[in-house]
Amino acid sequence: MEPINDEIAREFRFFRVYKDGRIEIFYKTQKVPPSTDAVTGVQSKDVTIQPEPAVSARIFLPKIQDPAQKLPVLLYLHGGGFIFESAFSPIYHNFVGRLAAEAHAIVVSVEYGLFPDRPPPACYEDSWAALKWLASHGSGDGTESWLNKYADFDRLLIGGDSGGANLSHYLAVRVGSIGQPDLKIGGVVLVHPFFGGLEEDDQMFLYICPENGGLEDRRLRPPPEDFKRLACGKMLIFFAAGDHLRGAGQLYYEDLKKSEWGGSVDVVEHGEGHVFHLFNSDCENAADLVKRFGSFINQNATNLPEKVGGARVVLRDARGGFVEAGAWKIPALSSALHVEMQAVLHAVRLASQLGYHRVRLENDSSLAISIITTYVDSGYTMDLLAGDVLYSAASFTASKFVFVSRKK
């Protein structure tokens, strides 16, 4: 048996390479099984997307109140520099489950190939395979029952953190490049995104990804034509002030704003470090990140056919905690008022089914309420607070928040 050669050839942020060819990853990833959260009722299970090369996912399903209700779907891609971490690790299991509960959405958290066993571009191709697999359920006859039964593919989003945010950008560009009709992306969320920037991170990426274009590789420095191809109309970017990736993320944002993309982008910054929400999940800023992420998912009601609108409501308790959500398509809308009327009606009916008797609408819907008062049971009380009502080009109510209280 030959003696082990501990002489180091190269060392990077996440691993070192020995002269005998061994690679030592500094961070060991633990894994936990799927489960049902006793507090939120979110269920999870693991599925195989493809056997070879192996791609799998953990699917999170929020507590179902109405079996006929369809839920938004998020494809989530974890971080870890394409080297470590997992959709099955404790921190990602907990974060994604919390997000599924907050947004009342199905989340498909992808387990993709990592360096050194499967170096990039494996992670990009695995993520693409996962998105295509997810989209194959749009007709209701896919291999996964939760997606067939509950997923609303008119509300499909992509998101991820760090390296997973980089993968999310790549997927949105690839969808826009091929124009595949069964892949419609309502929005993209980038949390503390990785787009290079620091020399040590750039060199590490180029080392683990031998098939590269140097420092101007489009995965590190997206060119203007890639922004133009983004297959989404909305994007939300989270930054952390103390993040070593913050500078490159800002350049990405500025290039996006200058591009011919034509969509809208919102930015949220917290005075924290990189992916702080995973390691300090109980802090106030972590709760804010989850809440804003969930709100973006529920406000992102795109991809409805032209001349088709809908009514969407989100029921919350007096403290703002999530209770239930619903979305209904309404064909041949003639006015925004029609949308308002339908939204109020659906809110009241849904609240009634859940045992609530008092509804407070945080939208200026006084005219709609006055018109439909005769349809509301006499046991209901409705209080109105002034607010904003948002519409997309298809006259779809983009946000509708309804606060309710239970019967005593």
Catalytic residues: 162, 243, 274
Task: Give the containing element (helix H, strand E) for 55.
Answer: strand 55-61
3-class SS at 188?
strand
H helix runs in 235-377, sequence order:
246-258, 276-279, 284-299, 336-353, 366-372
The DSSP string of 121-163 is THHHHHHHHHHHHHHTTTTS-SS-HHHHHHEEEEEEEEEEETH
Q: What are phi and psi of 163, to 5 degrees?
A: -60, -30
Q: How far apart are the first and last CA of the chain?
A: 76
Tokens, residue 86: 């997992």
Contact 123, 153 (CB under 8 A): no
Q: Of 254, 196, 262, 253, which is closest to residue 229 (Cα–Cα)?
A: 262
Q: How far apart are CA 121 and CA 17, in angstroms?
A: 20
3-state secondary structure of 287: helix
**Tokens encoding 118:** 């499967």
Distance between CA atoms of 313 and 309, rounded to whole angstroms? 14
